[in-house]
Structure 1
Amino acid sequence: MSDTTNIYEQTPDLDTIGGRLSRAREASGLSASELAWRLGVKTATINAWERDRSQPGAHRIAKLAGLLGTSISWILHGIGPAPREDDLSAASVSLQMERLLRLHRQTGNLIGQLERDLRKLESAGT
């Protein structure tokens, strides 16, 4: 796009707000529950937005745009920079690393709990 091109000259994305949110979330590599946690809402709220059963409030739109790597105008009207699904950015890699580390901690916690439970069972059986 040249510097003189107006974003309103572009062909708008005619999907719904929910459809655009869903596509942007998937392109960012976030699950609905991860996005909900980052926004401080319930996963059901994200699901309702993506299914067009409700819409995010104005105070959430800017944060959504930042988290999803898109513009406010694209979320609301389908005009402007859209997320790129094939974009490998530092932010997307960082999000994937955070997710992997969180899963690693959870796995460690589960292993520890299973080891404690196993020791209890072994000591009760002897």
Structure 2
Amino acid sequence: MAETSETTWFADDVATFGDRLEAAREAANLTQDELAQRLGVRDTTIAAWEAEEWEPRGNRLQMLAGMLNVSLMWLMTGAGAGLGGPQDEDALPLGARLALAEIAELRGQMQDLTEKLRRAEDKLETEMRGAAA
């Protein structure tokens, strides 16, 4: 049985926190500036969150979820009460479904590479500390 867009469209393997934040903000008919004013931050902060340049602190996450009428879990992971996708993924043209699958695969590869990079950085840092001692 195929999953619906409500369970997959904004999931972690398809969308990022920034994607979900932007979609929820737009669904609430708010500009970045309007959301920033309500939250008490600069509009550049909202833009940086949506672009995955910065991450909000926990208290801001809770406030965002409340202001955007989505669950905190959905905002962070895509699971739980939030937004559905624009339409049922099975109704999308084959090319769009293939593109979404490719994006999900590439995102997984990026996550694997990010973890490998983190481990290599940890090794380098350990070696540098050992050399400095």
1:15 matches 2:12? no
Deviations 1:23-42 (A, max 9, x none): 00000001100000001000
Q: CA deviation at 1:84?
A: 5.8
- Greater Cα radius of gyration, structure 1 or 2: 1
* Cα pair distance change 1:32/1:69, threshold 3 Å: same
1:51 corresponds in structure 2 to 51
2:24 corresponds in structure 1 to 24
Q: CA deviation at 1:47?
A: 0.1
Q: CA deviation at 1:22?
A: 0.3
Q: What is the TM-score normalised by the length of structure 1?
A: 0.56
Q: CA deviation at 1:85?
A: 8.5
Separation in 1, partners of 2:84, 2:72: 15
* Cα pair distance change 1:21/1:33, threshold 3 Å: same
Unaligned 5+ segments in structure 1 are: 1-9, 87-126
5 Å-filtered alignment, 1:1-126, equals 10-11=7-8, 13=11, 14-83=14-83
* Moved beyond 6 Å, runs of 4+: none
**Same amino acid, percent of matched pairs:** 42
Separation in 2, partners of 1:24, 1:45: 16
**Secondary structure of residue in 2 paired with 1:54:** coil
Q: What is the TM-score normalised by the length of structure 2?
A: 0.54
Q: CA deviation at 1:83?
A: 2.9
Indicate the RMSD between aligned Cα atoms, in angstroms: 1.9
Separation in 2, partners of 1:27, 1:60: 19
Deviations 1:67-120 (A, max 9, x none): 11100000111110113689xxxxxxxxxxxxxxxxxxxxxxxxxxxxxxxxxx
Unaligned 5+ segments in structure 2 are: 1-6, 87-133
Q: How many residues align?
A: 77
Separation in 2, partners of 1:59, 1:67: 12
